[in-house]
Amino acid sequence: MPAAGEPIKITVLGSGTSVGVPTIGCPCAVCASTDPRDNRLRPSILVSRGGVNVLIDTAPDLRQQALRARISHIDGILYTHAHADHILGLDDVRPFNYGRRDPIPVYGTPETLEALQRCFPYIFASGRSESSRPKIACHSFDSAPIRIAGLEFLPVRLAHGSGVSHGFRFGRAAYLTDHSDIPEESVPLLEGLDVLFLDALRHTPHPTHSTVERSVAWVERLRPRRAFFTHICHDLSHAELESSLPPHIRPAYDGLEIEVEEVEDAG
């Protein structure tokens, strides 16, 4: 159980798009880059505090991400939405069940939990199984805070094109990925932040994602102390994007670790 005042650590497991960077078969300069920060797995982060680990999304690259970050255990999983690049790593949760008595709690909207059941019917099948399968306990959320082993997460509703996704605020940090806009009713939930993650796919507009310019405008409005852009496609090289941004806004990259020193009391 985390101690009061203990910092939160955020580990970026993946900062790329649904197809990752480099993109299969693409000869562009970013996909051929030797800068390791241009190698971007599918989007996910790990939130840690006092020995508690919470995953936000199970990307298709979860096994690789977990090995690279040396994740030994998971205390809970939060889902932003049900798109493939955010849920398809669920089967890789199996090793986190080894040596654990209770199922791992999983939180999503009712629509996301229904999608998990459609994509992974064997996980939810009744009766015995001849092979291992993830042992999870599903819980739906709406707008109320979610508490996992002493950490509290507040869902933040986002527009994702014509659909909906959710970001999460935890202490003085918030993680927003896969959004085309932030509804006005969600803006007050994002005030007073130390760290804010935002979707910034590319410069060219996209129907379901934010552009770099639009996310810079959100940073100017919300005024976090530090902002990090994620869900970055191969249109943007890390070095060039970084050089174009003000000092308090940085592109995220796989393996980035951030500490949020001041945290709100979840008690």
Q: Which CATH number fits the domain that encloses residue 103?
A: 3.60.15.10
- Answer whether residue 99 shows pLDDT above 90: no
In a domain, 265, yes or no: no
Q: Residue 233: pLDDT band by 50, 70, 90 thresholds?
A: very high
Q: Residue 129: pLDDT band by 50, 70, 90 thresholds?
A: confident
In a domain, 3, yes or no: no
Exposed (0-12), middle (13-18) or buried (19+): which is 159, by Cβ within 10 Å? middle
The boundaries of the domain holding residue 195 are 8-260
Exposed (0-12), middle (13-18) or buried (19+): which is 210, by Cβ within 10 Å? buried
Q: How many CA atoms lie less than 13 Å away from 132 in the CB half-sphere?
A: 11
Average pLDDT (8-15) is 98
Tell me the pTM. 0.95
- Answer whether residue 115 shows pLDDT above 50: yes
Q: What is the pLDDT of residue 267?
A: 40
Q: Residue 262: pLDDT band by 50, 70, 90 thresholds?
A: low
- Answer whether residue 94 shows pLDDT above 80: yes
Q: How many domains, the chain?
A: 1
Q: CB under 8 Å to 12, separation ≥6 — which residues?
A: 45, 228, 230, 252, 253, 254, 255, 256, 257, 258
* CA 114 to mean position of chain CA atoms: 20
Q: Could you tell me the CA-to-CA distances from 246 to 191, 204, 228, 243 in Å, in that order? A: 20, 20, 11, 8
Question: Which residues sit opposite 78 in a β-bridge?
Answer: 56, 107
Q: Residue 266: pLDDT band by 50, 70, 90 thresholds?
A: very low
Q: How many CA atoms lie less than 13 Å away from 42 in the CB half-sphere?
A: 18
Average pLDDT (209-226) is 98
